[in-house]
Amino acid sequence: QYVGFDYDTRCDPSRAVGNASAMLASSSSSSSSSGGGTSCSGPDPVVGLLGPGCSSSSTLVARLAQHFSVPQISFASQAASLGSSAAYPAFFRTTLSGQTMIRGLAHLMLKLGHYYASILSGDEAFFVELGAIFEEALANPGGPAGTRGGAVQVNARFSPDEASVKAAVKQVTAGTAKA
């Protein structure tokens, strides 16, 4: 039976922690032990959390849920740090880490004969890290001796304001494509 909250956290860590706290608190306060068995006077106990989708929110919710011994499953959180079972023992995800996906993309590009790329990304640490991993994977693909690597022509970062996005797009489109 589905019991819970239906909230879109909009990748806001404080909203995600607030929602998770409310769910976990209502669940833990509704159970009481009497005699030899357990009786519930309120909602069913929370047995797991689904989401949030953003890594910045998931890391905080995972730490909170861990204190209640409640597992968390995220459908989209890709931060590599969330893969640490020591730091996040009850965190699970249904997607690959961003590092794994970005390396795969670089190798696919090279296999298809595309040796040059431009990167247009947000300026948050997660995206900057993925850009560096992509650039490294493109330049040094591994494989047999003589395997051709590629290069990133333009690496444009932007803040979430409209002027910054337009400037970054202009920087990428002004780059000269190489064959």
- For 114-142, how does the pLDDT look when each residue is reduced to its tens digit (9 = 90+)? 888 888 888 777 788 888 999 999 998 88
pTM of the model: 0.64
Strands 49-50 vs 31-34: parallel, antiparallel or unpaired? unpaired
Mean pLDDT of 132-154: 83
Mean pLDDT over residues 27-42, rounded?
A: 52
For the stretch 61-117, pLDDT in tens is: 999 999 999 999 999 888 888 999 999 999 999 988 888 999 999 999 998 998 888
pLDDT (tens digit, 9 = 90+) per residue, 52-71?
988 889 999 999 999 999 99
Q: How many CA atoms does the CB half-sphere of 139 hold within 13 Å? A: 9
Other residues' Cβ atoms within 10 Å of the Cβ of residue 94: 10
